[in-house]
Amino acid sequence: MQSWVALFRGINVGGHRKLPMKELAAELEELGLREVRTYIQSGNVVFKSDESDGRRLADRIAMSVESNHGFAPRVMVLTVDEVWAAAAANPFKAGENAPKLLHLYFLDEAPPSPDLDTMQCLRGGRESFELAGKVLYLHTPDGYGTSRLAERLERLLGVAATARNWRTVKKILELADDLRAPR
């Protein structure tokens, strides 16, 4: 049985596309997913499944939400090992001390032609980024909310992405560790 992480995008923001996590967990269990755990209302879910295809899981989850809530969220499903590898490869170790200023963008695929030149031009102050396959790391020591780069990253990468700050990534991995613990 595989351990998975589902990252939802664009839910519970500004009173739109409401998706209570307790309801979501129950719906995912109805889909046959096991040991479902959620973290904060922005849509971070850890679970186990016999399914071996993350895209198929993402589609099933999105269709279930659409059926039950009237909208199909963008869902990215990764193995726990993929999230662990992304965290371990963090090139901005100093950013781990300010977890709200370090973000990992999980990408749907490795960008075939990211606009790195424009990304460099938009980089402000002490901002740094590094693209590594299907993950982009963004360290914003002067503040994430003021980053011109952050607001345009997905368009410049040319692939679908969802971002999580370091604190959230670490909490997701804690939940994943709980799945491994004997019951």
**For the chain, what is the mean pLDDT?**
93
Rounded to 10 deg, the angle between the 54-69 and 21-30 helix axes is 120
Residue among 181, 2, 142 nearest 83 (CA): 2
Domain count, the chain: 2
Domain end call among 29, 64, 79: 79
Structural domain boundaries enclosing 59: 2-79
Domain end call among 23, 45, 79: 79
Query: Does pLDDT of 14 surpass 80?
Result: no
What is the Cα–Cα distance from 171 to 183, expressed in whole angstroms? Answer: 20
What is the Cα–Cα distance from 36 to 27, expressed in whole angstroms? Answer: 10
pTM: 0.93
List the beta bridge partners of residue 163.
105
The pLDDT tens digits of the residues spanning 91-124 come to 999 999 999 999 999 999 999 999 999 999 999 8
- The token duo for 82 is 């993929």
